[in-house]
Amino acid sequence: MAEIKMALRYIRNEILVLPTRVIGVVFVIALLLLPLLTQDMYILRILAIAAIFAIFAASWDLLSGFVGQVSFGHALFFGVSAYTTALLNLRLGWPPFITIPIGALAAVVVGLLVGIPCLRLKGPYLGLATLAFPIMLMGVIFVFPGFFGGELGISGITRLAALRIHEYYIAVVLMLVLCFIMWKITDSKIGIIFHAIREDEIAVRASGINTIKFKLLAFCLSGFFAGISGGLFTHFLRIAGPSMLAVLMSFQAIIWTIFGGIATIYGAVAGVFILYPTLEILRAAAEYRMLIFALIVLLVLRVMPEGITTFIRDKIERECPRCKVRNAVTRKECRVCFADMR
């Protein structure tokens, strides 16, 4: 009985006081309970893909938003893992729960290989140099069509799970867990160093911190999460194709994250879960689909350049001027230090 009371008090004092936390919790519960309401294959498919892409977008946010190592070639990690997963599954017949982690490890190795030459590059130089890697790999894939399947890609991969609803839960639960881990990483001691590297790398180095180690760590971590999403995506669509390495794939992650709100992790997730289903709904508009999509992105960013989650958060919450704790905008005094909020 006492535990239930404690739990209720925790919910009231820590979750219900902040509207953004309420939105987050409602979103998670809704995602987990959705199959009770509808078993529609199409809706589950769209949301599962959105969940997989959310991991991808969040991994870009981890590397580029938090550490400031802006990567324009994030599809590299996604594609390497997708192809590794597909080849292991097709040629050796290994099941998804082995191939996806190996694919993610391959992406980590690639993250190291890319990270080392890019350590000296900064800002736009780094971004545009990383753009080169997936395009180079795509050239290799087209030159060896026998092994990589060329333009058509590798198809005939086993499903993630036998039932669509199982696939949905695998994707959604993995997304929630991995994004939570990423969020915690950015909140940890390592995360503080990541922030500091973004703000002023030289100052961090002057404080006796080995920035090279942390930048490589960021590349590896980001590669790992992007790799998992690439492997999941391959097993979900049952195909690994060159489009997974395309420039557009890299930019999709950037569009989602910046649309949702950069350097937040939850912004990346929100961006995917808003934009990806929107793009699907727009299929009704046939040839105007991409035009409407681009106009939505254009206009929303023009009005809310910091991203949609940051914009909404600042509208419904305020920071206490004295103790810097966030408060609902309706409160007249701070919920912690009782400072006047008006």
Q: Does 321 bind another protein (CB under 8 A)?
A: no
Q: Does 98 bind another protein (CB under 8 A)?
A: no
* Cβ 66 to another protein shortest distance, Å: 13
Decide: 79 and 230 in contact? Cβ < 8 Å: yes
Query: How many degrees, rounded to 5, is the angle at CA 30 between CA 29 and CA 36?
Result: 105
- Looking only at residues 252 through 281 of this chain, which bind another protein when binding is defined by CB under 8 A? 254-255, 258-259, 262
- Looking only at residues 131 through 150 of this chain, which bind another protein when binding is defined by CB under 8 A? 131-132, 135-136, 138-140, 142-143
* Cβ 258 to another protein shortest distance, Å: 5
Q: Does 206 bind another protein (CB under 8 A)?
A: no
Q: Does 122 bind another protein (CB under 8 A)?
A: yes
Q: Does 16 bind another protein (CB under 8 A)?
A: no
* Cβ 64 to another protein shortest distance, Å: 9
- Which one, of 18, 31, 107, 23, lies nearest residue 71 by Cα? 107
* Cβ 301 to another protein shortest distance, Å: 5
Q: What is the 3-state secondary structure (H, E, C) of 21-47?
A: HHHHHHHHHHHHHHHHHCCCHHHHHHH
Q: Does 323 bind another protein (CB under 8 A)?
A: no
The SS3 of residue 322 is coil
Q: Does 125 bind another protein (CB under 8 A)?
A: yes
Q: b/e per residue, 12-34, with b = 16+ CB within 10 A? A: eeeeebbbeeebbeeeeeebeeb
Closer residue to another protein in complex, CB, 9/122: 122
Q: What are phi and psi of 158, to 5 degrees?
A: -70, 155
Q: Does 177 bind another protein (CB under 8 A)?
A: no
- How many other CB atoms are there within 10 angstroms of residue 192's CB atom? 11
Q: Environment class of residue 175 by beta-carbon count within 10 Å: exposed (0-12), middle (13-18) or buried (19+)?
A: buried
Q: Does 284 bind another protein (CB under 8 A)?
A: no
Q: Does 75 bind another protein (CB under 8 A)?
A: no
Q: Sign (positive/negative) of CA torsion 15, 16, 21, 27?
A: positive
Interacting residues toward another protein by CB under 8 A: 117, 120-125, 127-129, 131-132, 135-136, 138-140, 142-143, 201-202, 247, 251, 254-255, 258-259, 262, 287-288, 290-291, 293-295, 297-298, 301-302, 305-307
